[in-house]
Structure 1
């Protein structure tokens, strides 16, 4: 993002603002708390026009920059198989975004789930992610890839010409999801470098990496449990949760940052996970679920859930129970 912003921004100062050294070695496994990253993007926006910045960043992404997961994406035999690997292994890229492949009457939706306030930094990040998704698809497909439609939850920027040119399909802002709709034919196409043998090797490597992450993050799991238990009393406070885990607030903040998280994003993730689990159990009313997830009113819960998932709690429950 900083490089794509060009000479109109102070790159070294921007990177230093989130603890990164512009002259230091690259570390693909280093993560920033989501709030710090969004703040960085907002500081870029204060220095230069960012209307098409996310598209330029997405268009510049290369699979070689994604490590083993990028190789596994290339080695899948079809484009649909490539996206199945993103859905399963995206945790190796980020701890604040989840991906979902969802059947649609017109094809398949590749959905981006990212919780949190729809601030400018988050919106720019989502646009860049959607743009990079199409960019990496075009790097493995033998014919040009054009989605059927791109959906973006937030309002359109002042110009969408760059978005239209990059995606090559209708881009609908103000939608209920952040997603890309692909046709079945597109996802069934064979990849240029698809190879079953290489795929098996890479998948075993990715599974090992994924298990290491799971082993490295017991603190996150314990913190989510503590937050879930505290939610019925309202939004929990970080010092209280830290104290229950035997940590100072400062140490707790630092250790979450090591996993690319902030307390705010962890609380949002916990609320969402808890709400989705409770909605799959018909014994709880929507009012009860609102209380158990820390909301004083059902209407506040409904607004938050629609922000997280793109649909209302009642619609989510109906859809899951109907499957």
Structure 2
């Protein structure tokens, strides 16, 4: 069974309510837990998500439901992948990390860059794929996916990006005018694949506001996730904290975004494992502080900053609590090794 994070249903409840429907009724009919309508981190069958979109569109007589939902979705729904995307230096970098790690959000989805199907050398095609062999294309799901990609590119480039055309592999029930108004470009139907045709120069356009270090950290974290998840959450929290220290505030919200869980969910799961966020942060700081103090000659103020402490005096208090010694004593080997 292929699954998708329930973040893919963002905006469903509000859109259905706006149209006079009952989102919980539709979710139950398709075998989805009600909680999936209100949280991002549940893993639910992707076929059930596609089915609930189609059911709602049919019951509410709203053939452009996917396009409407797209207005309520944003990049944050992709969790740690969103951090990598926002801090990519170019759109080509965005496409590279999305193509490689979109499975973190949904294993059945793909986004690839291909030559223009019409042979225009000044155009490339962004192909949005749903891997469902033998299954009909989920129209609302494909509409939502293409619309999400379109709106994300708009936000990243902060302008109209020169979309040449939208290619749909089906004949939608909604009027083409609704699609052309949404995308601001011609729409062609019953084509071989779902594509956005964009200027080839777009790939190398630099993006503003990114942080190269955060981009690197997010990619490292995604690579670690792709190697297999830990059975417990605590080791993953510790790894994330180690990567974040010295680069951004080691707050529970930052770690939760990297782990693609809600902060309250993170707290509950850590409590079930017999620990808490503050304890793990303290342990990581202690380990990193000893490493910096015993293997480098960095100034104490720099060591404090690298483990996420605001000042040297706080480092001194922590060292006395951890080892009953000052940072200078640790550096000189005058403290216990615990």
Q: Same fold (TM over 0.5)?
A: yes
Runs of 5+ unmatched residues, structure 2: 1-11, 232-338
**1:135 Cα shift?**
0.7
For residues 110 and 228 of structure 2, the distance between their equivalents in structure 1, rounded to whole angstroms, comes to: 18
Structure 1 vs Structure 2 CA RMSD: 2.3
For residues 136 and 21 of structure 2, the distance between their equivalents in structure 1, rounded to whole angstroms, comes to: 21
Residue among 197, 210, 218 paired with 1:194: 210
* CA pair 164-206 structure 1, distance change in 2 beyond 3 A: same
Structure with the larger helix share:
1
The alignment status of 1:55 with 2:67, answered yes or no, reads yes
State the match for 1:3 in structure 2.
14
State the match for 2:83 in structure 1.
71
For residues 199 and 22 of structure 1, the distance between their equivalents in structure 2, rounded to whole angstroms, comes to: 31
* CA pair 36-25 structure 1, distance change in 2 beyond 3 A: closer
User: Which region of structure 1 is more displaced relative to structure 2, 31-40 or 166-175?
Assistant: 31-40
The alignment status of 1:20 with 2:20, answered yes or no, reads no
Higher relative contact order (CA 8 A, sep 6+): 1
For residues 33 and 67 of structure 1, the distance between their equivalents in structure 2, rounded to whole angstroms, comes to: 18
> 2:139, 2:172 within 8 Å by CA — same for their partners in 1?
no
User: Which region of structure 1 is more displaced relative to structure 2, 86-95 or 36-45?
Assistant: 36-45
Runs of 5+ unmatched residues, structure 1: 217-323
For residues 192 and 174 of structure 1, the distance between their equivalents in structure 2, rounded to whole angstroms, comes to: 36
**1:94 Cα shift?**
0.5
Residue among 99, 105, 114 paired with 1:87: 99
The TM-score normalised by the length of structure 2 is 0.58
TM-superposition CA deviations, 1:73-121 (whole Å, max 9, x none): 110011221122111101011021222211333322111222245547x
The alignment status of 1:204 with 2:220, answered yes or no, reads yes
For residues 186 and 104 of structure 2, the distance between their equivalents in structure 1, rounded to whole angstroms, comes to: 31
> 2:57, 2:64 within 8 Å by CA — same for their partners in 1?
no
State the match for 1:34 in structure 2.
46
For residues 158 and 67 of structure 1, the distance between their equivalents in structure 2, rounded to whole angstroms, comes to: 31
For residues 38 and 191 of structure 2, the distance between their equivalents in structure 1, rounded to whole angstroms, comes to: 40
For residues 111 and 215 of structure 2, the distance between their equivalents in structure 1, rounded to whole angstroms, comes to: 20
| Aligned 1:120-139 pairs, distance under 5 A | 122-139=138-155
* CA pair 46-184 structure 1, distance change in 2 beyond 3 A: closer
State the match for 2:193 in structure 1.
177
State the match for 2:325 in structure 1.
none
* CA pair 118-3 structure 1, distance change in 2 beyond 3 A: farther
